[in-house]
Structure 1
Amino acid sequence: MKREDLNDMLWFLAVAEERSFTKAAAKLGTSQSTISHTIKKLEARIGLRLLTRTTRSVSPTEAGERLIRSLAPRIEELESEIDQLMEIRDKPSGTVRITLSDHALESIVWPKLRNVLKHYPDIGLELNTDNGFRNIVEDRFDAGVRLGESVDKDMIAVRIGPDWRLVAVGSPDYFARRTAPEKPQDLVGHICINNRQSRSGGLYAWEFAKDDRELRVRVDGQLTFSTTYAMIDAAVKGYGIAYVPEDIVAREIEAGRLLQVLDDWCPSFPGYHLYYPSRRQNSPAFKVIVEALRQS
């Protein structure tokens, strides 16, 4: 059905309900002659008379009554659905989907959101952990969380966490058998625990910097993971050196279960940002999530 056909039928329903072209015209904000012309076109297109017109009244014909019985429930259903959508517009509800790394989830996002969600039972939250890069538009995510330097320029980016850095760590048992590296190039002679980028499929090249000098080192070892926490566990158990976020291994280092090396070569990274398309009408639920995550 063409859009103009639907409009004509809505006008027919208005005339049938009001039993008057004049009243229907006032209700619809148009002229009586325009409505009369529209109904005549509709009747000509269908090939049936829909309204009986007299000088004093307007009433549906048998065909008109049949059309009313068919149209009215559907129009009521549409109006009800629109009313519900209007409620959603004003009330935080619905599901928000976010793609993020396991570190971002555990260190920033979940700690900030777990208490907020208790106050908004109608908000659903899907947190999809992925250490690679996702196209949030194509994959139908509402937003993503990545380091500030990784966010595309055409996205809105909201900072949600402080700067942090990766550190190289290994167990005392591992370093009892091998000399600790003094510079990043020494890692080539060590057993390292690799991280595979889940989206690209490639291995992460460890990034180092010192005195304006930047280095990337591709390491080798027995184990490769796509999750940070498995890398830490393997390092504690002596399987090699891991390059992992400092904040989540601080306790292991303090307890002596891990030893930190190459400290002066480990740079800081811009903190996590929530990013999402700039051209969109954000729901109340999404706005609640953004404000809860926003770094104060």
Structure 2
Amino acid sequence: MNELPLADLDAFAAVARERSFRTAARKRGVSASALSEALRRLETKLGVRLLNRTTRSVTLTEAGTRLFERLSPALGEIAGALDQVGSLRDSPAGTLRLNVPTVVAREILPPLVGRFLNANPAIVLEVTAEDGLIDVLAAGFDAGVRYEERVERDMIAIPIGPRVQRYITAAAPNYLVKRGIPQHPRDLLEHATIRHRFLNGIALAWEFGEGEEALTIAPPAAVVANTIDLEIGAAVDGLGVIRTFEEFLMPEIKAGRLVPILDAWVTSFPGPFLYYASRRHMPAPLRAFVDFLKSEQRRAER
């Protein structure tokens, strides 16, 4: 049998992983027809069908399943070896793909990005901000940023950003004049509020306190949205009470457009973590970012 082109094997693995020519092509930046031609060449050389293709689905044949199971670790080792060699360059190169919560994209990453990319000019950073729970590695990201309770146990996690964050409650001065100042979280059941709803349709209840003092309520909403800018704007306009990350509200509080309330019921929690899969050969851009975050942490501890 003639030597099989590595590119065709890689194309097969990409389609097998996604179960879709179109999705695999989009992620690789090539056309679906190019992947289809690579699969045709590979199947012709092997003399066996690897994929069953219909207009609606792509499934692996028995031969395709066996090849994919043996091929995936080998391709991973090759990619890791190439990244390791690339790391010996004066500056690591490649694309670093991160999936992060909205608050991290807005408040935590901006001061880090400039320093990281100035030190690593050959790296391209791609950031997707979303608050839903997804398998970031299966979705093609190199790493994710999440809070402790949402980090998978089999992942490596390192701190990124502040080690303590807070949820606070606030309202516009004109709203408080009109409706009164809540003295206890239960008072919010008689107030209008600004609620956040995630893209999966879930609007989380508001949690206050800890232990025996813990209290969870779902106050009536005047506005429900999935964008923090609209939510803050609604609160500033006096439409209701808002409760969210302190970082989001501090500019409006400092400007006098919002007033913090229920100070005794501020909720503190650990800051976010960068998490990634444990593997022998880490991609050079991810390794550079991890090293950068560790140096930032050491600098902050001095």
1:4-15 to 2 correspondences below 5 Å = 6=3
CA deviations 1:22-64 (Å, max 9, x no partner) are xxxxxxxxxxxxxxxxxxxxxxxxxxxxxxxxxxxxxxxxxxx
Q: Please give the alpha-carbon distance, in whole angstroms, between the structure 2 residues aligned to 1:202 and 1:133.
A: 12
**Structure 1: gaps (5+ residues):** 8-80
**Structure 2: gaps (5+ residues):** 5-78
Once the two structures are overlaid, the 10-residue window that deviates more, 88-97 or 263-272, is 88-97
Residue 98 of structure 1 is matched in structure 2 by 98
Q: Please give the alpha-carbon distance, in whole angstroms, between the structure 2 residues aligned to 1:140 and 1:233.
A: 34
- Kept in 2, the 8 Å contact 1:191–1:222? The answer is yes
Q: Please give the alpha-carbon distance, in whole angstroms, between the structure 2 residues aligned to 1:82 and 1:275.
A: 18
1:28-67 to 2 correspondences below 5 Å = none
Give 1:137 deviation, angstroms: 2.1
Q: 1:82 to 1:179 in 2, by over 3 A?
A: closer
Residue 72 of structure 2 is matched in structure 1 by none
Residue 173 of structure 1 is matched in structure 2 by 174
Residue 225 of structure 1 is matched in structure 2 by 225
Q: Please give the alpha-carbon distance, in whole angstroms, between the structure 1 residues aligned to 2:85 and 2:119.
A: 18
Residue 291 of structure 1 is matched in structure 2 by 291
Q: Please give the alpha-carbon distance, in whole angstroms, between the structure 2 residues aligned to 1:288 and 1:212.
A: 44
Q: Which residue type is aligned with residue 134 of structure 1?
A: I
1:1-296 to 2 correspondences below 5 Å = 1=1, 6=3, 87-91=85-89, 92-161=92-161, 162-198=163-199, 200-210=200-210, 212-279=212-279, 281-294=281-294, 295-296=297-298
CA deviations 1:107-162 (Å, max 9, x no partner) are 21221122321232221111111022221122111111112232121111101122
Q: Cα RMSD (Å) of the superposition?
A: 2.5
- Kept in 1, the 8 Å contact 2:80–2:281? The answer is no
Q: Which residue type is aligned with residue 258 of structure 1?
A: L
Number of aligned pairs? Answer: 219
- Kept in 2, the 8 Å contact 1:156–1:275? The answer is yes
Give 1:210 deviation, angstroms: 4.9
- Kept in 1, the 8 Å contact 2:116–2:292? The answer is yes
Q: Please give the alpha-carbon distance, in whole angstroms, between the structure 1 residues aligned to 2:152 and 2:292.
A: 22
Q: Please give the alpha-carbon distance, in whole angstroms, between the structure 1 residues aligned to 2:212 and 2:105.
A: 31
TM-score by length of 2: 0.66
Once the two structures are overlaid, the 10-residue window that deviates more, 106-115 or 162-171, is 106-115
Give 1:288 deviation, angstroms: 1.5
Q: Please give the alpha-carbon distance, in whole angstroms, between the structure 2 residues aligned to 1:264 and 1:131.
A: 27
Q: Please give the alpha-carbon distance, in whole angstroms, between the structure 2 residues aligned to 1:185 and 1:280.
A: 52
Give 1:266 deviation, angstroms: 1.8
TM-score by length of 1: 0.67
Q: Please give the alpha-carbon distance, in whole angstroms, between the structure 2 residues aligned to 1:280 and 1:87.
A: 14
